[in-house]
Structure 1
Amino acid sequence: MPSHVSADRPAAQPPGRGSVEALISQTRRLKGDVDAVRRDTRSDGSDPQERWQRALYDLALHQLNDLDEHLAQLRDGPAPLSAAADDGGSPAELRPEPAGVPHGSLLSRVGSAEWNLLTDEAGWSGELYQILGRDPATPALTLDELPSLVLDEDRPGLTAMVTDCLVDARPIDGEFRVVRPDGRVRTVHMMGEPVLGGDGSTASMWAVLRDVSELRRSQRTVRESRDSLQLHRRQTRAEQRLAVELQEAVLPSGRGALRLPHRGPGTLELAARHLPSGNDTLLGGGWYDALELSDGDTLLSVGDLTGHGVGVTSGMTMLLGAVRGMAMAGAQPGHLMSLLNQLLDATVQPALGSAVCCRYRPATRTLTWAQAGHPAPLLYRDGTGCVLSAPDGVLLGATSGAGYGQVEVTLEPGDLLLLHTDGLVPGRWGYPRSGETESGEGADSLDCLLGLAPRFGTAGTAQDCVRAVVEEFGENGREDAACVLIARVSAQVSE
């Protein structure tokens, strides 16, 4: 072919070998750093955020591999344009990769071609035959024949690019999909320019063609992972709003003073607080409740359904409604716990929960209570605190047909009861029984709770006592949400 000049610029001088080697070294160091971080992000794929991050790392590695191999080609020089295989015409798929090049290397995915418009000759590099899956022993396709390899919907785009290049001398920069003889579809990116003859007319066209199938697949994975992550976040926010609204609709506000029953001796002054977790998405199934029953008794209950999310909050409202309904029907705390256990055992979705339920009779200041794997109430009297001895009771939903005991305690005027969920005391499902010892973080937190007795003794209201608990354990930043309910026996008759 005669020597031509580029349509828009003279041929650039090739970079020095040393500068390319430096770029290759920098690229490989960066590849190692990215790959090290990528390996640290391995997970089971259940988290959309982690899937998206992993897809981005994979894409970055793919592009760095691509850059590494392209720089190696730049260092070693282009392969000669040839329509014949070096090994006598064996199919490209069966030819071995060059020495030192791993299987599937990107060296086999970058090829070049030149089409002479004056002689209608075409020359392809061996790599281009590999990309298109054609036998190197066959002649290279002309520009008129090239569209026969392209998917029907991509042919107009290829034709437009070639026409603009030949007629208007515009550079080619675009993609199309080809169907290989083995039926596989590959995405090819082509960059090229027209080459002008001495009279200024287009004499030929050269192009570099690159198989970008894996790169586009990686990019598609990133897009799909990102879309999945965004959808997951929208769903999480919607569920969070629903769970918050559901919880606020069911739980008493706990911010104002409450006395139950409203009249008579032995009235309980009540105050409560829900303490959120440090993670806004960890809205769980904790509850507290105080209710005056039809016979004049007062129901106190605190509980927690394991898990987080709108499903758990919905389950919590079911349990709370069941507690209220069965207490109104006259069920005593121990029997009530057995019925709750049956209810959880019969639900479609398995669940575990803990609870403490107290029935207070103001006329005699008698507290009857039962628990299901839950921290026992704390009793504060005369400036000291203690843990009430707990009756038998396993977690709700843990076993079918479980039995639950109940005990009675006679309270005195001025006594204070503190009920809470296990989120207030880290790592505790319950307190040790009489004679047992406890050590560690749970014991330290229990000591802190019992140590609030002097402050409770000087507190003006039950609400002041709740504030003392919040000040000691913090209203925010905890690992899990917690509920606190305080009931103080009035020392005088409430009018």
Structure 2
Amino acid sequence: MPPHLSADRPAAQPPGRGSVDALISQARRLKGDVDAVRRDTPSDASDPQERWQRALYDLALHQLDDLDTHLGQLQEGPPLVSPAPTAVLPDRAEPPAPRRGSLLSRVGSAEWNLLTDEASWSGELYQILGRDPAAAPLTLDELPSLVLDEDRPKLTSMVTDCLVDAKPIDGEFRVVRPDGEARTVHMMGEPVLDSDGSTASMWAVLRDVSELRRCRSAVSETRDSLQRHRHQAQTEHRIAVELQEAVLPPWRGSLRLPHQGPETLDLAAHQLSSPPGALIGGDWYDVLELADGQTLLSVGDLTGHGVAVASGMATLLGAVRGMAMAGTQPGQLMSWLNQLLDATVQPALGSAVCCRYRPDTRTLTWAQAGHPAPLLFRDGTGRRLNAPDGVLLGATSGAVYAQAEETLEVGDLLVLHTDGLVPGRGATDSMQVLSDLGPRLDGAGAAQDCLRLIVDEFGDREREDDACVLVARVTS
């Protein structure tokens, strides 16, 4: 911008050529680094986080392109001087001719002389507005004809403030080119005063910022999309937690069964949660006193995370309780659970262990579907029960599940758990780690004390998913 005639301080001196060359080298090196990072960033249109990142990279590249352009103008040297037509006017800078492949065509200049009603446009401004270079430049009265109707009041206000009140122009408006394309133009201008301080002309630089605005719009849209995505994830997490808490047994800590008569089982259970912010899984545990005096013990896990999985877990757990109350034996119960999961709209896989304990004979009848077998601790030694045949629930239609029996003794400790109780370990390693707790569990006594020992041992370990553990001590 040329200075006002009334300015009380001298114009800043242009930097030396060597310093400009150094700035250009730094800007281009930075632009290359940003472009390299952008190319290495994965592009997944379904991921709002990645869309947000790529939009920011695009915006940074456009800004660095503009910086390179302006530094290039400095490198070309001082502008040519052209005398004002009538009034005493300051020198007007004409941008250098655009170079092939550069972005200089995005910046143009214009001057409107109020004394002669003449206009002067640079060639770049013709390119920005899509005008024929052979045509006469538009006057200030004609310029609004290129502007969108809703933006015309803004342009009129800026020009009026500049000519009447000598206010600088700094604003944007949209123009429609002859080919019908709409472009966003940023205009910066100043009044040029004559010797008596009145406005003689207006000088302006107009810049095509359409791509810059497009990038900013993309950044804004992806930011909003990311915020919506986060809000949705938080809402789903809250719903899944509430659903999980609603369907798991209402008791927490220890439980003694039966409720009436002499105690036969001392029970305790706990759910080890995944890290804060992680999605809720489909793990469950359950203890239910049946009508015939037997006790149902079950743990299970439905694959996946989120509200849909928590809802599916609630469905399976409800089915387990209903069929157990109806007297269904564990093997048949697993077959019907498999049929139920196979018939759901959303395919899913699940694993489970279901046990019926008969206290008068201390007999445990159980079946499993692709799930770790219960551990039996007796006299300080732990072992896995020999698992009957059973595939994952939902893996195949018409699967048949065998069942097994185990006679327990007073003082025996039974531990049922879901995958993930011992993070980072396979089934064999997990069994060995748990079995090593045998002497300590034997001395722990009550089921709640045994559970606390297990939770203290594994609860603080970093895990990617939920896990459940159910402990039952035979008391009589």
Give the TM-score normalised by structure 1.
0.88
1:424 Cα deviation (Å)?
1.2
Amino acid of the structure 2 residue aligned with 1:394: V
Counting only pairs closer than 5 Å after superposition, residues 153-164 of structure 1 correspond to structure 2 as 153-164=150-161
Determine the C-alpha separation between the residues in 2 that align with 1:224 and 1:448: 50
Q: Please give the secondary structure, in 1, of the residue aligned with 2:303.
A: strand
Counterpart of 2:89? Answer: none
Counterpart of 2:71? Answer: 71
1:79 Cα deviation (Å)?
7.9
Contact 2:353 2:366 in 1 (8 A): yes
Amino acid of the structure 2 residue aligned with 1:465: C
Determine the C-alpha separation between the residues in 2 that align with 1:134 and 1:238: 53
Counterpart of 1:92? Answer: none
Determine the C-alpha separation between the residues in 1 that align with 2:3 and 2:45: 55
Amino acid of the structure 2 residue aligned with 1:271: A
Residues 1:282 and 2:279 are matched in the alignment:
yes
Determine the C-alpha separation between the residues in 2 that align with 1:6 and 1:45: 54
Counterpart of 1:185? Answer: 182
Residues 1:217 and 2:214 are matched in the alignment:
yes
1:334 Cα deviation (Å)?
1.0
Amino acid of the structure 1 residue aligned with 2:104: L
Residues 1:348 and 2:348 are matched in the alignment:
no
After superposition, the Cα gap between the structure-2 partners of 1:108 and 1:336, relative to the gap in structure 1 and judged at 3 Å, is same
Contact 1:266 1:362 in 2 (8 A): no
Counterpart of 1:238? Answer: 235
1:41 Cα deviation (Å)?
3.2
Amino acid of the structure 2 residue aligned with 1:181: P
Residues 1:300 and 2:285 are matched in the alignment:
no
Counterpart of 2:87? Answer: none
Determine the C-alpha separation between the residues in 2 that align with 1:119 and 1:74: 32
Q: Summarize deviations over 1:235-257 as a string: whole Å, max 9, x none.
A: 22222222111111221356432
Counterpart of 2:52? Answer: 52
1:386 Cα deviation (Å)?
0.8
CA RMSD of aligned residues (A): 2.3
Counterpart of 2:265? Answer: 268
Counterpart of 1:17? Answer: 17
Contact 2:3 2:11 in 1 (8 A): no
1:265 Cα deviation (Å)?
6.4
Counterpart of 2:146? Answer: 149
Q: Summarize deviations over 1:164-200 as a string: whole Å, max 9, x none.
A: 1111111000000000111110000000111111222
Contact 1:266 1:413 in 2 (8 A): no
Bigger drift between 230-239 and 3-12 goes to 3-12
Counting only pairs closer than 5 Å after superposition, residues 9-408 of structure 1 correspond to structure 2 as 11-77=11-77, 98-99=99-100, 101=101, 105-252=102-249, 255-263=252-260, 267-408=264-405
Q: Summarize deviations over 1:142-168 as a string: whole Å, max 9, x none.
A: 111111100000001001101111111
After superposition, the Cα gap between the structure-2 partners of 1:245 and 1:476, relative to the gap in structure 1 and judged at 3 Å, is farther
1:476 Cα deviation (Å)?
5.8
Q: Summarize deviations over 1:412-441 as a string: whole Å, max 9, x none.
A: 1111111111121346xxxxxxxxxxxx75
Amino acid of the structure 2 residue aligned with 1:44: D
After superposition, the Cα gap between the structure-2 partners of 1:383 and 1:314, relative to the gap in structure 1 and judged at 3 Å, is same
The count of corresponding residues between Structure 1 and Structure 2 is 460
Determine the C-alpha separation between the residues in 2 that align with 1:237 and 1:407: 43
Which runs of 4 or more aligned residues in structure 1 lie more than 6 Å from their structure 2 counterparts after TM superposition? 78-82
Determine the C-alpha separation between the residues in 1 that align with 2:428 and 2:251: 27
Aligned partner (choices 447, 460, 464) of residue 479 of structure 1 = 464
1:266 Cα deviation (Å)?
7.4
Determine the C-alpha separation between the residues in 1 that align with 2:319 and 2:136: 82
Residues 1:470 and 2:467 are matched in the alignment:
no
Determine the C-alpha separation between the residues in 2 that align with 1:256 and 1:353: 26
Contact 1:7 1:169 in 2 (8 A): no
Contact 1:175 1:190 in 2 (8 A): yes
Amino acid of the structure 1 residue aligned with 2:148: L
1:292 Cα deviation (Å)?
0.4
1:77 Cα deviation (Å)?
4.7
Q: Please give the secondary structure, in 2, of the residue aligned with 1:148.
A: helix
Determine the C-alpha separation between the residues in 2 that align with 1:488 and 1:37: 59
Q: Please give the secondary structure, in 2, of the residue aligned with 1:422.
A: coil
Q: Please give the secondary structure, in 2, of the residue aligned with 1:308.
A: coil
Determine the C-alpha separation between the residues in 1 that align with 2:78 and 2:353: 79
Determine the C-alpha separation between the residues in 2 that align with 1:406 and 1:7: 99
Contact 2:423 2:461 in 1 (8 A): no
Counterpart of 2:432? Answer: 447
After superposition, the Cα gap between the structure-2 partners of 1:424 and 1:80, relative to the gap in structure 1 and judged at 3 Å, is farther
Determine the C-alpha separation between the residues in 2 that align with 1:399 and 1:206: 79
Task: Give structure 2 stretches of 5+ with no counterpart.
Answer: 83-96
Determine the C-alpha separation between the residues in 2 that align with 1:225 and 1:323: 44
Contact 1:6 1:193 in 2 (8 A): no
Determine the C-alpha separation between the residues in 2 that align with 1:336 and 1:7: 94
After superposition, the Cα gap between the structure-2 partners of 1:373 and 1:344, relative to the gap in structure 1 and judged at 3 Å, is same
1:40 Cα deviation (Å)?
4.0
Determine the C-alpha separation between the residues in 2 that align with 1:376 and 1:335: 18
1:445 Cα deviation (Å)?
2.9
1:53 Cα deviation (Å)?
2.6
Residues 1:457 and 2:442 are matched in the alignment:
yes
Task: Give structure 1 stretches of 5+ with no counterpart.
Answer: 83-95, 428-439
